[in-house]
Structure 1
């Protein structure tokens, strides 16, 4: 089961370009089996998610949330159904407490994207994974992220961090078995029951128009 853990839409993310319907359609066309709608500081409600799912039975759609710890540091949360538990600029310790209470998963999104360091209070909590590959992670960020992964002894994930349709289908994780629901997906992330998946051909197409080697997208080994 190929899952994109980090997808935005224009409906609930101000930086989103494509509609939910366009993003889901592109995910299906890219061969993905599931996506997580992880909007900025917003979680899709159960009823509206069910409506979207009913219209697109060819793919599994999960609800997550990308919480802004500050303007630069973001954590993607999966498997916690109560959106009221999360708010912009909340303390990382409070976020992790909510995640642990509900057996969810917390993923550090695009570290080093906006600066050379990660906040100390984020490093002091127990995350479940760190993004190593996405449309928001360029070659120059690879080395510091790998050092961070080694320091924290955490698995890496790949996801699109997609804001428009052309960004889908580049990166995902591939589960060892299908996830029944978001709780099951969170469990597999916590337990590392997945491998990195990428589409090198699509990545190379995008890299062909990106100037500078350091700013290009990375292709997993």
Structure 2
């Protein structure tokens, strides 16, 4: 089954150009099983997620956010769809709160802004990192591969799409049907 776990829409990400309905239609057309809507530092209201899920029952839609802290950008998924995170000042604070709530933290497009392996990996270990996305050059992808191997961090491939046509350009083949955030969190924590 195919899952793209890093997608933006124009509803809550000002840098995205496609509305969520177009993103979902494209994901279905491309044969994706599910997508995660991960707007920049914004959590969709649960009622809006539920409406989108009603419109596209054939597509699993995960709720998350791309949270920016000085150390980088991190995809956050929480088990309770009504949970939200306050804006946190740094990665240790973000990781502590995400894990306190039973969620996962995925390092989005690592090395996009800085080509030096971060010192924070000694203190804070993400649950996974992106190995490839539209915003990662081949050199950056190689650095991500080395980092994942050296630190034994599970790796994912996601589009980081900001336009409907880019959804699914990178995706994850997962041999399980993930139906909700709880399934996704369990898969990343224990099976990836």
Tell me, yes or no, whether TM beats 0.5: yes
- Structure 1 residue runs of 5 or longer lacking an equivalent are 194-221
CA contact (8 A) 1:73 1:118 kept: no
Moved over 6 A (4+): none
Q: Which residue of 2 aligns with 1:35?
A: 35
Q: How many residues align?
A: 191
Q: Which residue of 2 aligns with 1:216?
A: none
Q: Which residue of 2 aligns with 1:76?
A: 75
- Structure 2 residue runs of 5 or longer lacking an equivalent are none
Equivalent positions of 1:46-195 (< 5 A) are 46-70=46-70, 73-80=72-79, 81=81, 84-87=84-87, 90-121=89-120, 123-193=122-192
CA contact (8 A) 2:60 2:179 kept: no
Shift of 1:124: 2.0
Shift of 1:83: 5.2
Secondary structure of the corresponding residue to residue 114 of structure 1:
coil
Larger RCO (alpha carbons 8 Å, 6+ apart): 2
Query: TM-score, structure 2 length as denominator?
Result: 0.92
Larger-Rg structure? 1
How far apart are the structure 2 equivalents of 1:172 and 1:90? Answer: 30
Deviates further, 98-107 or 112-121:
112-121
CA contact (8 A) 2:44 2:63 kept: yes
CA contact (8 A) 1:160 1:167 kept: yes
Secondary structure of the corresponding residue to residue 171 of structure 1:
coil
Secondary structure of the corresponding residue to residue 40 of structure 2:
coil
How far apart are the structure 2 equivalents of 1:123 and 1:75? Answer: 17
CA contact (8 A) 2:43 2:84 kept: no
Query: TM-score, structure 1 length as denominator?
Result: 0.80
Q: Which residue of 2 aligns with 1:8?
A: 8
For residues 121-157 of structure 1, give each alpha carbon's deviation from its aligned partner in whole angstroms, at most 9, with x where no partner exists: 3552121111011111111212221221123211110
